[in-house]
Amino acid sequence: MPDLADRAFAATFHHVFTFSLLYEDSEVDNRVLDLDSRARVLAVSGAGCGVAGLLAAHPARIDAVDTNRHHLALAALKVAAARRMTSHAEFYQLLGRGRHDDPAGVLRPLMAALPSWVGRYWSTNHHRFRHNLYAEGLVGTFQRLLRQKVGVDADFLRTVQALPPAERLARFDPIFASLRRWWPMRVLVNTPLFQLGVGVNFAQRRRNLRANRAASMMDVVTAHFERLVRTDLETNWFVWSCLTGEFNHDHPDAVPPYLREQSHKQSLVAPTRVGFHHASLQRMLAGATPGQWSHFSLCDVLDWLPASAQRELLHRIARVGGEGAVVLTRSVEDACVVDRVGLSGLYERVEPASTLASEQERTRLYGRVDVYRVVGAA
Ligand SMILES: C[S@@+](CC[C@H](N)C(=O)[O-])C[C@H]1O[C@@H](n2cnc3c(N)ncnc32)[C@H](O)[C@@H]1O
């Protein structure tokens, strides 16, 4: 059972619109999940880029689950748009550029195949597409403040992306230093408001501090920025949206995969049935029948849980999924969760897929991205 602080965090987080973008590299997911037409996926949605990205692989079924209705409604919208907006240009305008002249008009026909609560949600929230979806939500608001302080633009990013990593770091160093000195930032990063805004609960905060050997969240944030600067900046859509409020529209692969033309083409003809469940993962699993899902995509939900609850959840997944079921999970820690909670007889870590996924994950938020396969009877 999570501690009191995390129960309060969860109760608050459920009601807050935090993310318009999934802070996970969904290009990695499709590569390692290796879905086929028999696959049935239970996936935590977050902002939905990953769930929408799975459509291109044509699994038989996806059940998207999230305790936050804002995120689930956005995931439902991304899925419906990928399947129903036949013009890639218009689809990209809505979710690649995040804005549309007539948001209410463009969203209305997408609602037909979605649960009625999602339709009601977007009939009152379509204004999020009026200016820029990616500047909305708590994380979008923090990033807007950051941009005002940092003041870099797309031209700066285009210039530094061509430099070798050490020179890039040197160009960013004065920016990091000024952020570390900026008192609103120093105060904000150590508050629960910041944790809500970046989706890091108290358990994950402790894991982050330990993994980075950091004294404060400011050290965690700085170390993260430094890791990001070393990535391929041209295609790193997390860096672009944070520092410019936009994706790099000059590069077709600098966006979450579901937005790319080829993936969109495949999504338009996906035979996949998709369900949206405003519930916890634990509740979905408690009501499941054996074999209901073959793949489980957990985002970093395990990081939000104490070890006993991680063990219980992984045990339950193995019972529902059965032998051969696949689990994809991310953690800020650099440790194998299955070994740590004593379930190595039940799961094997899939290699080299896990090591490659951890190296390729361009958010650089996670110490590990792991794929596990159930090998024993739960
Ligand atoms: C764990 S959070 C962390 C942020 C994440 N890395 C991202 O980019 O969205 C991701 C999503 O999981 C949801 N979530 C957290 N615990 C959950 C649970 N037990 N069951 C279902 N959804 C959960 C949150 O509401 C959020 O939308």
pLDDT, tens digit, for every residue of 320-347? 999 999 999 999 999 999 999 999 999 9
Lowest mean pLDDT among 43-47, 217-221, 322-326: 217-221
Question: Is residue 16 classed as helix, strand or coil in its secondary structure?
Answer: coil
Give a yes or no: residue 61 inside a domain. Answer: no
- pLDDT tens across 89-101, in order? 999 999 999 999 9
> What is the average per-residue pLDDT within 15-36?
96
Give the model's pLDDT for residue 5: 94
Query: Which structure tokens are listed for 365?
Result: 């938020």
Give a yes or no: residue 277 inside a domain. Answer: no
pLDDT surpassing 90 at residue 220: yes
Q: Give the single-character DSSP code of 372.
A: E
Atom 5 (ligand 1) nearest CA: 23
Give a yes or no: residue 145 inside a domain. Answer: yes
194: nearest Cα among 208, 176, 177, 211: 208
Full domain range(s) for residue 144: 137-244
Query: Which structure tokens are listed for 349?
Result: 């870590």
Give the model's pLDDT for residue 377: 80
Cβ–Cβ under 8 Å, residues 353 and 371? yes
Q: How far apart are CA 6 and CA 12, in angstroms?
A: 10
Give a yes or no: residue 239 inside a domain. Answer: yes
**CA distances for 67 relative to 29, 82, 284, 362, 365, angstroms:** 21, 23, 11, 26, 22
Looking at the chain, the whole-number percentage of residues with pLDDT higher than 70 is 100
Choosing from 299, 302, 317 the residue with most ligand 1 atoms within 8 A of its CB, the one to mutate for a pocket test is 299
Atom 25 (ligand 1) nearest CA: 68
> What is the average per-residue pLDDT within 127-143?
95
Q: Which residues contact 327 (CB under 8 A, 6 or more apart)?
A: 295, 296, 298, 314, 317, 321, 347, 371, 372, 373, 374
Give a yes or no: residue 252 inside a domain. Answer: no
78: nearest Cα among 115, 101, 51, 109: 51
Q: Which residues line ligand 1 (CB under 6 A)?
A: 19, 22-24, 44, 46-47, 65-68, 71, 199, 280-282, 299-301, 304
Strand partners, 42: 63, 296
Give the model's pLDDT for residue 38: 98
Q: Ligand 1, residue 68: give the atom nearest the CA.
A: 25
pLDDT surpassing 90 at residue 376: no
Is residue 114 very low, low, confident or very high in pLDDT (cuts 50, 70, 90)? very high
Give the model's pLDDT for residue 67: 98
Give a yes or no: residue 106 inside a domain. Answer: no
Give the model's pLDDT for residue 2: 76
Cβ–Cβ under 8 Å, residues 302 and 329? yes
Choosing from 26, 44, 310, 362 the residue with most ligand 1 atoms within 8 A of its CB, the one to mutate for a pocket test is 44
Of residues 122 and 146, the one with the higher pLDDT is 122
Cβ–Cβ under 8 Å, residues 16 and 196? yes
Give a yes or no: residue 63 inside a domain. Answer: no
Distance from the alpha carbon of residue 281 to the mean position of ligand 1, in angstroms: 9
Cβ–Cβ under 8 Å, residues 245 and 144? yes
Choosing from 15, 67, 78, 134 the residue with most ligand 1 atoms within 8 A of its CB, the one to mutate for a pocket test is 67
Q: How far apart are CA 135 and CA 357, in angstroms?
A: 28
Atom 8 (ligand 1) nearest CA: 23
Rg (CA), the chain: 20
> What is the average per-residue pLDDT within 70-79?
98
pLDDT surpassing 90 at residue 378: no
Q: How far apart are CA 99 and CA 81, in angstroms?
A: 14
Give a yes or no: residue 148 inside a domain. Answer: yes
Q: Are strands 61-66 and 40-44 parallel, antiparallel or unpaired?
A: parallel
Number of domains in the chain: 1
In this structure, the number of other CB atoms found within 10 A of the CB of residue 160 comes to 17
